[in-house]
């Protein structure tokens, strides 16, 4: 399982996270919610090695994530999507998915330059996995098109496929429903449930779309001002006075 305790991050004098905690059972879908600026994306950036952590711990199946570089985090079984998409706009859908798989590549720079048989075998395997993924995520028709010309909802699917290409055990989704229409959100929900089921994935999502959170997630963690203020089922957190206050403000 994922266990995060007392995560602390500081930018200059500002504590962006202080006492952030979260647990997620294996193969569950858990949401991390909170008002704007609560620290949710910072939390993801800490788990994935993008921000240095100043205190606390985060373990996935007993492996410590704090202090690992981004490629070490990928090897520990984590992958993520980004709120503003982390795609190469001029590359095709397939090449973007292949780029996601390269995080796991074993061949070093020297072997890559010499194009040894091992490198070529690895490239073939990476391409095969990426092709399968484009099928699975419903991107076959647009596989050879540059990402920049695709509708936003399709680009978000590419982002999901890219994140899955490193074969994660734990998938972090940063606002997957943002910018999607209602039918697209319904499709996204089914897609998340399907990939979780097929791949035995554990999913943690940051999301403002409460309809999606409440219908998809078994557990919800709520943050405000960089710390965790509530954890529980969707029904429990909705009724929690601290959560109501965080979203609506204290009664005057």
Ligand X SMILES: Nc1ncnc2c1ncn2[C@@H]1O[C@H](COP(=O)(O)OP(=O)(O)OP(=O)(O)O)[C@@H](O)[C@H]1O
* Site residues (vs ligand X, CB under 6 A): 11, 14, 16, 34, 36-42
Residue 2 or 38: the one with the smaller Cβ distance to ligand X is 38
For β-strands 78-80 and 170-174, DSSP reports them as: parallel
Residue 34 or 176: the one with the smaller Cβ distance to ligand X is 34
Query: C-beta of 41: minimal distance to ligand X in Å?
Result: 3
Q: Which tokens sit at 25? A: 């059972």
Residue 32 or 195: the one with the smaller Cβ distance to ligand X is 32
Residue 24 or 38: the one with the smaller Cβ distance to ligand X is 38
- Alpha carbon distance 105, 99 (integer Å): 10
Query: C-beta of 26: minimal distance to ligand X in Å?
Result: 25
Residue 98 or 223: the one with the smaller Cβ distance to ligand X is 223
Residue 11 or 247: the one with the smaller Cβ distance to ligand X is 11
- Alpha carbon distance 104, 113 (integer Å): 17
With contact defined as beta carbons under 8 Å apart, do 104 and 167 qualify? yes
Collect contacts of 147-155 with beta carbons under 8 A, ≥24 apart. 147/87, 147/88, 147/89, 147/90, 147/91, 147/92, 147/93, 147/96, 148/89, 148/90, 150/93, 152/179, 152/180, 153/179, 153/180, 153/181, 153/184, 155/85, 155/87
- Alpha carbon distance 229, 159 (integer Å): 30
Q: Which helix (H) or strand (E) holds 48?
A: none
Per DSSP, what are the bridge partners of residue 26? Answer: none
Query: C-beta of 241: minimal distance to ligand X in Å?
Result: 21
Query: C-beta of 70: minimal distance to ligand X in Å?
Result: 15
Query: C-beta of 108: minimal distance to ligand X in Å?
Result: 31
Query: C-beta of 231: minimal distance to ligand X in Å?
Result: 16
């Amino acid at each position: 399982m994922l266990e995060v305790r007392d995560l602390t991050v500081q930018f200059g004098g500002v504590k962006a996270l202080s006492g952030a905690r979260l647990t997620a059972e294996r193969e569950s879908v858990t949401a991390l919610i909170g008002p704007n600026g609560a620290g949710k994306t910072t939390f993801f950036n800490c788990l994935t090695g993008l921000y240095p952590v100043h205190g606390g711990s985060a373990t996935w199946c007993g492996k410590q994530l704090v202090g690992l570089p981004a490629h070490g985090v990928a090897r520990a079984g984590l992958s993520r999507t980004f709120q503003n998409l982390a795609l190469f706009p001029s590359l095709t859908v397939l090449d973007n998915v292949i780029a996601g798989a390269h995080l796991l590549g074993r061949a070093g720079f020297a072997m890559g330059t010499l194009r040894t048989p091992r490198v070529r075998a690895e490239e073939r395997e990476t391409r095969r996995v990426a092709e399968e993924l484009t099928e699975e995520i419903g991107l076959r028709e647009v596989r050879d098109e540059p990402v920049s010309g695709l509708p936003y909802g399709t680009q978000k699917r590419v982002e999901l496929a890219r994140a899955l290409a490193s074969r994660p055990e734990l998938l972090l989704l940063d606002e997957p429903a943002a910018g999607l229409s209602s039918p697209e959100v319904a499709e996204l929900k089914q897609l998340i449930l399907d990939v979780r089921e097929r791949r035995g994935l554990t999913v943690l999502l940051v999301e403002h779309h409460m309809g999606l959170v409440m219908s998809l997630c078994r557990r919800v963690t709520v943050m405000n001002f960089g710390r965790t203020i509530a954890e529980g089922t969707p029904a429990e957190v909705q009724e929690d006075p601290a959560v109501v206050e965080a979203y609506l403000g204290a009664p005057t």
